[in-house]
Amino acid sequence: MSEQVLRKSGAVQKNRSKVRTIAQVAMLGAVATVLMLFEFPLPFLAPPFYELDFSEVPVLIGAFAMGPVAGIAIEAVKILLNFVFNGTITAGVGEIANFLFGCAFVLPASLIYRKKKTRKHAVLGMAAGTITMTIAACIINAWVLLPAYGIAFGMPVEAFVEMGTAIHGAINSLFRFALLVVGPFNLLKGTLVSGIVLLLYKRIRVILRGDYS
C-alpha cells in the first residue's frame, strides 16, 4: 500500500513539474515576444533594417534553468506569437531565420552549461553560442535572407551592398556585407545578451526552479 502511495505521489509530482515547465515556457516566450517589439538601430554598425533587441535574454535564461529543449520551445513560442501579432513581410523567411539564429545561440550555451552548472561554464557556453550564432547569421543572411528581402521589397541585392558600403567602404559584395556588417552586429548582440543574462540569471533561477541555495 505504501509503495502504491509513493508511486501515485511521484506521478503527481511529475505531472506538476510538467505543467510548471509548460507554464514557464509560455511565460518566457511571451516576455521574449514583448522584448522583440523594443528594437533600436545601430547606424554606426549596420543599415537601419538591422535592429537590435534583447528577446534572447528570457530564452537563454529559460534554457539555463530548464534545459536546451525548453530553450528551443521558448524560442518557438516567441516566433509564433510575433508572427500572429505582427505578421510577416518576408513570407515567413525572416521568422524562420530568427528562430534558427536564436537556436544557434541558445543550444551551445545551454548544452555546455548543462554539463557543469558553474559561472565559468555559463560564460564558455554563451561565448560558444555567440560565435555559432554569428557564423549562422552570416551564412543565412548572405545566401538566403538578404536575397529573400530583396524579392519581398522588390530591391536588387546590390542595394543592400550599397547600404553596407555607406558604412564600411570595403563592402562590395553580399559576402563582405555579411562579414563586416552581419558578423559584428551578431557578435555585439550575443555579448550584450550574455552580459544581461549573467546579471539576471541567478535571481530569476530562484523563481523558475525554486532554488534558494
Q: Provide the mean pLDDT of the chain.
A: 87
Helix intervals (H) in 87-182: 93-115, 119-140, 146-153, 157-167, 174-177
Q: How confident is the model at residue 93 (pLDDT cuts 50, 70, 90)?
A: confident
Rounded to whole angstroms, what are the CA distances from 212 to 56, 126, 190, 205, 208?
25, 24, 28, 9, 11
Rounded to whole angstroms, what are the CA distances from 109 to 2, 6, 114, 134?
42, 36, 9, 13
**Which pLDDT does position 192 carry in this prediction?**
97
Q: Contact 43/185 with Cβ under 8 angstroms? A: no
Res. 90: pLDDT tops 50 = yes
**Which pLDDT does position 212 carry in this prediction?**
38
Reported as a single tens digit per residue, the pLDDT across 12-28 is 566 677 888 899 999 99
> How far apart, in whole angstroms, are the C-alpha atoms of residue 169 and residue 149?
22
Asked: is 2-209 a CATH 1.10.1760.20 domain? The reply is: yes
**Which pLDDT does position 187 carry in this prediction?**
97
Largest Cα–Cα separation, the chain? 78
**Which pLDDT does position 210 carry in this prediction?**
53
User: Whose CA is closest to 32, among 98, 93, 91, 90?
Assistant: 98
Percent of the chain past pLDDT 70, that is, above it, reads 89
**Which pLDDT does position 177 carry in this prediction?**
95
Res. 11: pLDDT tops 80 = no
**Which pLDDT does position 213 carry in this prediction?**
39
Higher pLDDT, 195 or 95: 195
Spatial CB neighbours of 132, under 8 Å, sequence gap ≥ 6? 104, 105, 107, 108
Reported as a single tens digit per residue, the pLDDT across 144-171 is 888 888 887 788 889 999 999 999 989 9
Phi, psi dihedrals of residue 137, rounded to the nearest 5°: -65, -40
User: Whose CA is closest to 60, among 101, 96, 6?
Assistant: 101
Reduced to 3 states (helix: H, G, I; strand: E, B; else coil), residue 116 is: coil
